[in-house]
Amino acid sequence: MSNTMLEVRELTTKYITRFREDVYAVDHVSLKVEEGKTLGIAGESGCGKSTLALSLMGYYFPPLHYTSGEIIIDGHNITGMDPDVVRKMILGAEIAYIPQAAMNALNPTQKIIHFIEDVIQEHDLYVTKKDIYERARILFETLGLPAEVLQKYPVELSGGMKQRTVIAVSVLLLPKVLIADEPSSALDVTSQKMVIKMLRQLMETGLISSMIFITHELPLLYNVTDDIMVMYAGQIVEKGTAQETVFDPLHPYSKGLMGSIIVPEKGLRDVKLAAIPGVPPNLKNPPAGCRFAPRCKYVREECTLHSIPMHEAAGRRAYRCIIPEKELREIYAKEAYRNAR
Protein backbone atom coordinates (compact mmCIF):
# COMPACT_ATOMS: atom_id res chain seq x y z
CA MET A 1 0.00 0.00 0.00
CA SER A 2 1.34 3.40 -0.88
CA ASN A 3 1.49 6.37 1.45
CA THR A 4 0.06 9.68 0.33
CA MET A 5 2.57 12.41 1.10
CA LEU A 6 0.40 15.28 -0.05
CA GLU A 7 -3.25 15.55 -0.84
CA VAL A 8 -4.97 18.69 -2.06
CA ARG A 9 -8.77 18.81 -2.44
CA GLU A 10 -10.55 21.40 -4.54
CA LEU A 11 -8.12 24.15 -3.59
CA THR A 12 -9.10 27.62 -4.77
CA THR A 13 -6.99 30.71 -4.13
CA LYS A 14 -6.77 34.19 -5.59
CA TYR A 15 -4.69 37.34 -5.69
CA ILE A 16 -6.35 40.56 -4.68
CA THR A 17 -4.58 43.35 -6.53
CA ARG A 18 -3.94 46.89 -5.35
CA PHE A 19 -6.98 47.93 -7.34
CA ARG A 20 -9.13 45.39 -5.48
CA GLU A 21 -9.46 43.16 -8.51
CA ASP A 22 -9.51 39.38 -8.00
CA VAL A 23 -7.11 37.20 -10.01
CA TYR A 24 -8.33 33.60 -9.98
CA ALA A 25 -4.97 31.89 -10.38
CA VAL A 26 -5.80 28.53 -8.71
CA ASP A 27 -9.29 27.18 -9.29
CA HIS A 28 -10.57 23.95 -7.70
CA VAL A 29 -7.28 22.08 -7.97
CA SER A 30 -7.11 18.54 -6.59
CA LEU A 31 -4.02 16.39 -6.56
CA LYS A 32 -2.26 13.57 -4.75
CA VAL A 33 1.44 12.84 -4.45
CA GLU A 34 2.34 9.32 -3.32
CA GLU A 35 5.52 8.30 -1.54
CA GLY A 36 8.44 7.78 -3.92
CA LYS A 37 6.64 9.46 -6.82
CA THR A 38 7.21 12.61 -8.82
CA LEU A 39 4.25 14.63 -10.03
CA GLY A 40 4.83 17.02 -12.94
CA ILE A 41 2.93 20.22 -13.60
CA ALA A 42 2.94 21.52 -17.18
CA GLY A 43 1.47 24.68 -18.62
CA GLU A 44 2.41 27.93 -20.32
CA SER A 45 3.74 30.85 -18.35
CA GLY A 46 1.07 32.69 -16.38
CA CYS A 47 -1.24 29.67 -16.02
CA GLY A 48 -0.73 29.56 -12.25
CA LYS A 49 1.95 26.92 -11.65
CA SER A 50 3.98 28.95 -9.16
CA THR A 51 0.84 30.21 -7.45
CA LEU A 52 -0.34 26.63 -7.06
CA ALA A 53 3.00 25.75 -5.45
CA LEU A 54 2.67 28.55 -2.88
CA SER A 55 -1.01 27.77 -2.31
CA LEU A 56 -0.55 24.08 -1.61
CA MET A 57 2.04 24.85 1.04
CA GLY A 58 -0.51 27.00 2.87
CA TYR A 59 1.81 29.94 2.29
CA TYR A 60 -0.67 32.82 2.13
CA PHE A 61 0.68 36.32 2.34
CA PRO A 62 -1.01 39.25 0.61
CA PRO A 63 -1.83 39.66 -2.19
CA LEU A 64 -2.39 35.85 -2.23
CA HIS A 65 -5.53 34.69 -0.38
CA TYR A 66 -7.04 31.33 0.46
CA THR A 67 -10.65 30.85 -0.68
CA SER A 68 -11.58 27.18 -0.21
CA GLY A 69 -10.34 23.62 -0.29
CA GLU A 70 -8.16 21.36 1.85
CA ILE A 71 -4.46 20.56 2.16
CA ILE A 72 -3.29 17.38 3.87
CA ILE A 73 0.43 16.78 4.31
CA ASP A 74 1.38 13.24 5.34
CA GLY A 75 -1.97 12.79 7.06
CA HIS A 76 -2.01 16.22 8.78
CA ASN A 77 -4.62 18.68 7.67
CA ILE A 78 -2.97 22.10 7.52
CA THR A 79 -5.96 23.93 6.04
CA GLY A 80 -6.43 27.28 7.72
CA MET A 81 -3.10 27.21 9.56
CA ASP A 82 -1.65 30.62 10.31
CA PRO A 83 0.86 31.56 7.59
CA ASP A 84 3.51 32.44 10.16
CA VAL A 85 3.15 28.99 11.70
CA VAL A 86 3.34 27.51 8.21
CA ARG A 87 6.60 29.35 7.68
CA LYS A 88 8.06 27.97 10.91
CA MET A 89 6.66 24.45 11.02
CA ILE A 90 5.83 23.40 7.48
CA LEU A 91 8.16 25.12 5.06
CA GLY A 92 11.43 23.28 4.67
CA ALA A 93 10.53 20.63 7.24
CA GLU A 94 7.38 19.18 5.65
CA ILE A 95 7.38 20.74 2.20
CA ALA A 96 10.42 22.40 0.69
CA TYR A 97 10.06 24.82 -2.19
CA ILE A 98 12.79 25.78 -4.62
CA PRO A 99 11.41 28.92 -6.25
CA GLN A 100 12.09 29.92 -9.85
CA ALA A 101 15.53 31.54 -10.17
CA ALA A 102 16.31 30.57 -6.56
CA MET A 103 20.03 30.53 -7.22
CA ASN A 104 19.99 34.23 -8.05
CA ALA A 105 18.36 34.97 -4.72
CA LEU A 106 21.39 33.80 -2.72
CA ASN A 107 22.81 36.65 -0.68
CA PRO A 108 26.06 37.57 -2.48
CA THR A 109 27.79 38.73 0.71
CA GLN A 110 27.04 35.55 2.65
CA LYS A 111 29.09 32.36 2.54
CA ILE A 112 27.05 29.23 1.76
CA ILE A 113 27.63 27.81 5.26
CA HIS A 114 26.19 30.97 6.86
CA PHE A 115 23.14 30.70 4.64
CA ILE A 116 22.74 27.10 5.85
CA GLU A 117 23.07 28.21 9.49
CA ASP A 118 20.22 30.67 8.94
CA VAL A 119 18.01 27.98 7.38
CA ILE A 120 18.54 25.50 10.20
CA GLN A 121 18.35 27.99 13.05
CA GLU A 122 15.00 29.21 11.75
CA HIS A 123 13.69 25.80 12.82
CA ASP A 124 16.03 24.83 15.64
CA LEU A 125 17.55 27.62 17.71
CA TYR A 126 19.70 25.40 19.90
CA VAL A 127 21.77 23.49 17.37
CA THR A 128 25.48 24.40 17.40
CA LYS A 129 27.40 25.76 14.41
CA LYS A 130 29.69 22.76 14.58
CA ASP A 131 26.74 20.37 14.29
CA ILE A 132 25.32 22.38 11.42
CA TYR A 133 28.63 22.20 9.59
CA GLU A 134 28.83 18.44 10.11
CA ARG A 135 25.30 17.94 8.85
CA ALA A 136 25.94 20.08 5.79
CA ARG A 137 29.22 18.35 5.05
CA ILE A 138 27.66 14.89 5.20
CA LEU A 139 24.76 16.00 3.02
CA PHE A 140 27.10 17.51 0.42
CA GLU A 141 29.23 14.37 0.44
CA THR A 142 26.17 12.16 -0.07
CA LEU A 143 25.17 14.24 -3.06
CA GLY A 144 28.65 14.36 -4.56
CA LEU A 145 29.12 18.09 -4.04
CA PRO A 146 32.55 19.27 -2.88
CA ALA A 147 32.52 20.31 0.79
CA GLU A 148 34.68 23.36 -0.08
CA VAL A 149 31.55 24.92 -1.57
CA LEU A 150 30.36 25.51 2.00
CA GLN A 151 33.10 28.08 2.57
CA LYS A 152 32.48 29.91 -0.72
CA TYR A 153 30.48 32.96 -1.72
CA PRO A 154 27.77 32.55 -4.38
CA VAL A 155 29.79 34.51 -7.01
CA GLU A 156 32.55 31.93 -6.77
CA LEU A 157 30.21 29.19 -7.98
CA SER A 158 29.03 28.40 -11.51
CA GLY A 159 25.31 28.64 -12.26
CA GLY A 160 24.89 24.87 -12.19
CA MET A 161 26.80 24.53 -8.91
CA LYS A 162 24.79 27.36 -7.34
CA GLN A 163 21.54 25.67 -8.28
CA ARG A 164 22.66 22.28 -6.95
CA THR A 165 23.76 23.97 -3.73
CA VAL A 166 20.37 25.63 -3.32
CA ILE A 167 18.64 22.30 -3.86
CA ALA A 168 20.90 20.54 -1.36
CA VAL A 169 20.22 23.20 1.26
CA SER A 170 16.48 22.94 0.67
CA VAL A 171 16.43 19.29 1.74
CA LEU A 172 18.49 19.71 4.91
CA LEU A 173 15.38 19.19 7.03
CA LEU A 174 14.31 16.04 5.14
CA PRO A 175 10.99 17.30 3.75
CA LYS A 176 8.21 14.90 2.74
CA VAL A 177 7.61 16.81 -0.46
CA LEU A 178 10.06 18.84 -2.54
CA ILE A 179 8.61 21.32 -5.02
CA ALA A 180 11.05 22.26 -7.78
CA ASP A 181 9.76 25.24 -9.80
CA GLU A 182 11.56 25.45 -13.16
CA PRO A 183 14.79 24.36 -11.45
CA SER A 184 16.91 24.12 -14.57
CA SER A 185 15.40 26.63 -17.00
CA ALA A 186 18.30 29.07 -16.87
CA LEU A 187 21.02 26.43 -17.18
CA ASP A 188 22.80 24.94 -20.16
CA VAL A 189 21.98 21.34 -21.03
CA THR A 190 24.85 19.73 -19.16
CA SER A 191 24.19 21.61 -15.91
CA GLN A 192 20.50 20.85 -16.34
CA LYS A 193 21.28 17.17 -16.51
CA MET A 194 23.39 17.38 -13.36
CA VAL A 195 20.52 19.09 -11.53
CA ILE A 196 18.07 16.41 -12.64
CA LYS A 197 20.46 13.65 -11.66
CA MET A 198 20.75 15.17 -8.22
CA LEU A 199 16.96 15.43 -7.80
CA ARG A 200 16.69 11.75 -8.64
CA GLN A 201 19.42 11.02 -6.10
CA LEU A 202 17.46 12.88 -3.41
CA MET A 203 14.58 10.51 -3.94
CA GLU A 204 16.73 7.37 -4.13
CA THR A 205 18.63 8.17 -0.93
CA GLY A 206 15.41 8.98 0.93
CA LEU A 207 16.37 12.61 1.61
CA ILE A 208 12.94 13.50 0.24
CA SER A 209 9.86 11.26 0.06
CA SER A 210 8.17 12.73 -3.02
CA MET A 211 8.48 15.56 -5.50
CA ILE A 212 6.46 18.03 -7.52
CA PHE A 213 8.29 19.17 -10.63
CA ILE A 214 7.13 22.29 -12.47
CA THR A 215 8.23 23.24 -15.98
CA HIS A 216 6.92 24.21 -19.41
CA GLU A 217 9.66 22.10 -21.03
CA LEU A 218 7.75 18.94 -21.89
CA PRO A 219 10.60 16.58 -22.87
CA LEU A 220 12.22 17.36 -19.52
CA LEU A 221 8.97 16.83 -17.64
CA TYR A 222 8.40 13.53 -19.39
CA ASN A 223 11.83 12.26 -18.37
CA VAL A 224 11.60 13.32 -14.75
CA THR A 225 8.04 12.53 -13.64
CA ASP A 226 5.74 9.56 -13.00
CA ASP A 227 2.49 11.49 -13.41
CA ILE A 228 1.72 14.75 -15.20
CA MET A 229 -1.01 17.34 -14.65
CA VAL A 230 -1.62 19.91 -17.37
CA MET A 231 -2.67 23.31 -16.10
CA TYR A 232 -4.50 25.94 -18.12
CA ALA A 233 -5.67 29.33 -16.85
CA GLY A 234 -5.66 28.30 -13.17
CA GLN A 235 -7.33 24.92 -13.66
CA ILE A 236 -6.09 21.38 -14.09
CA VAL A 237 -7.32 20.25 -17.51
CA GLU A 238 -5.74 16.80 -17.61
CA LYS A 239 -4.14 14.22 -15.30
CA GLY A 240 -2.50 10.94 -16.13
CA THR A 241 0.78 9.08 -16.20
CA ALA A 242 3.66 10.83 -17.96
CA GLN A 243 3.43 8.28 -20.75
CA GLU A 244 -0.33 8.79 -21.26
CA THR A 245 -0.23 12.56 -21.09
CA VAL A 246 2.63 12.97 -23.55
CA PHE A 247 1.81 10.22 -26.07
CA ASP A 248 -1.97 10.07 -25.75
CA PRO A 249 -3.30 13.44 -24.57
CA LEU A 250 -7.07 13.77 -24.30
CA HIS A 251 -7.85 17.42 -23.61
CA PRO A 252 -7.59 19.59 -26.75
CA TYR A 253 -5.19 21.93 -24.93
CA SER A 254 -2.88 19.08 -23.88
CA LYS A 255 -3.11 17.77 -27.41
CA GLY A 256 -1.88 21.13 -28.73
CA LEU A 257 0.84 21.32 -26.11
CA MET A 258 2.22 17.89 -26.93
CA GLY A 259 2.16 18.83 -30.61
CA SER A 260 4.60 21.65 -29.89
CA ILE A 261 7.33 19.37 -28.52
CA ILE A 262 10.70 19.84 -30.18
CA VAL A 263 13.45 17.25 -29.66
CA PRO A 264 16.50 16.36 -31.77
CA GLU A 265 15.21 12.97 -32.80
CA LYS A 266 14.70 11.21 -36.10
CA GLY A 267 11.41 12.00 -37.76
CA LEU A 268 10.93 15.29 -35.94
CA ARG A 269 11.58 17.37 -39.03
CA ASP A 270 8.74 15.70 -40.89
CA VAL A 271 5.99 16.55 -38.41
CA LYS A 272 4.35 19.93 -38.49
CA LEU A 273 4.43 21.70 -35.15
CA ALA A 274 1.04 22.39 -33.67
CA ALA A 275 0.77 26.03 -32.75
CA ILE A 276 -2.24 26.87 -30.57
CA PRO A 277 -3.78 30.07 -31.92
CA GLY A 278 -4.62 32.96 -29.60
CA VAL A 279 -3.48 33.69 -26.07
CA PRO A 280 -4.59 32.48 -22.62
CA PRO A 281 -7.39 34.47 -20.95
CA ASN A 282 -6.84 37.22 -18.45
CA LEU A 283 -7.37 35.61 -15.04
CA LYS A 284 -9.11 38.68 -13.71
CA ASN A 285 -11.96 37.82 -15.98
CA PRO A 286 -11.78 34.20 -17.16
CA PRO A 287 -14.38 33.07 -19.69
CA ALA A 288 -17.50 31.42 -18.34
CA GLY A 289 -17.62 27.71 -19.06
CA CYS A 290 -14.49 26.08 -20.41
CA ARG A 291 -11.55 28.45 -20.05
CA PHE A 292 -9.93 27.03 -23.18
CA ALA A 293 -13.07 27.38 -25.33
CA PRO A 294 -12.03 30.65 -27.06
CA ARG A 295 -8.92 28.92 -28.47
CA CYS A 296 -10.36 25.47 -29.03
CA LYS A 297 -10.77 24.02 -32.53
CA TYR A 298 -13.57 21.76 -31.37
CA VAL A 299 -15.61 24.30 -29.42
CA ARG A 300 -19.37 23.72 -29.19
CA GLU A 301 -22.15 25.84 -27.90
CA GLU A 302 -22.43 23.94 -24.58
CA CYS A 303 -18.76 24.61 -23.83
CA THR A 304 -19.36 28.22 -22.90
CA LEU A 305 -22.52 27.77 -20.84
CA HIS A 306 -21.32 26.52 -17.45
CA SER A 307 -18.07 25.40 -15.90
CA ILE A 308 -16.84 22.00 -16.96
CA PRO A 309 -15.99 19.37 -14.30
CA MET A 310 -13.18 16.84 -14.58
CA HIS A 311 -14.31 13.67 -16.37
CA GLU A 312 -12.87 10.27 -15.57
CA ALA A 313 -11.22 8.44 -18.43
CA ALA A 314 -9.77 4.95 -18.88
CA GLY A 315 -7.26 3.99 -16.18
CA ARG A 316 -6.73 6.62 -13.50
CA ARG A 317 -6.95 9.46 -15.97
CA ALA A 318 -9.17 12.53 -15.91
CA TYR A 319 -9.71 15.52 -18.19
CA ARG A 320 -11.83 18.66 -18.21
CA CYS A 321 -13.77 18.64 -21.49
CA ILE A 322 -17.38 17.89 -22.41
CA ILE A 323 -16.46 15.77 -25.41
CA PRO A 324 -16.55 12.06 -24.47
CA GLU A 325 -13.25 10.19 -24.57
CA LYS A 326 -14.33 7.95 -27.45
CA GLU A 327 -15.40 10.88 -29.58
CA LEU A 328 -12.18 12.82 -28.86
CA ARG A 329 -10.14 9.83 -29.94
CA GLU A 330 -12.09 9.61 -33.18
CA ILE A 331 -11.53 13.31 -33.87
CA TYR A 332 -7.79 12.99 -33.23
CA ALA A 333 -7.51 9.83 -35.31
CA LYS A 334 -9.20 11.49 -38.29
CA GLU A 335 -6.91 14.50 -37.97
CA ALA A 336 -3.81 12.34 -37.83
CA TYR A 337 -4.99 10.51 -40.93
CA ARG A 338 -5.57 13.76 -42.80
CA ASN A 339 -2.17 15.17 -41.76
CA ALA A 340 -0.40 12.03 -42.85
CA ARG A 341 -1.72 12.32 -46.42
Ligand X SMILES: Nc1ncnc2c1ncn2[C@@H]1O[C@H](COP(=O)(O)OP(=O)(O)O)[C@@H](O)[C@H]1O
Q: Which residues bind ligand X (CB under 6 A)?
A: 15, 17, 23, 25, 43, 45-51, 63, 283
Smaller CB separation from ligand X, 142 or 285? 285
Q: Which of 222, 283, 291, 310 binds other proteins (CB under 8 A)?
A: 222
**DSSP-H helix ranges across the chain:** 49-56, 83-85, 112-123, 129-142, 159-170, 189-204, 218-224, 242-247, 252-258, 325-340
**CA 84 – CA 335 distance, rounded (Å):** 52
CB of 99 to ligand X, least distance (A): 10
CA distances from 65 to 32, 91, 151, 192 (A): 22, 18, 39, 34
Could you say which of Mg ion, other proteins, ligand X, none residue 339 binds, taking C-beta under 5 to 8 angstroms by partner kind? none
CB of 44 to other proteins, least distance (A): 4
Q: Which residues bind Mg ion (CB under 5 A)?
A: 49-50
Does residue 157 interact with other proteins by CB under 8 A? no
Does residue 197 interact with other proteins by CB under 8 A? yes
**CA 286 – CA 291 distance, rounded (Å):** 6
CA distances from 242 to 122, 184, 227 (A): 37, 19, 5
Could you say which of other proteins, Mg ion, ligand X, none residue 273 binds, taking C-beta under 5 to 8 angstroms by partner kind? other proteins
Smaller CB separation from ligand X, 25 or 171? 25
Does residue 266 interact with other proteins by CB under 8 A? yes
- β-pairing, 177-181 vs 95-98, is parallel
- Residues 12, 212, 180, 100: what is their CA dihedral angle, to the nearest 10 degrees? -30
Binding site for other proteins (CB under 8 A): 43-45, 188-190, 192-194, 196-197, 200, 216-220, 222-223, 246, 257, 259-266, 268-269, 273-279
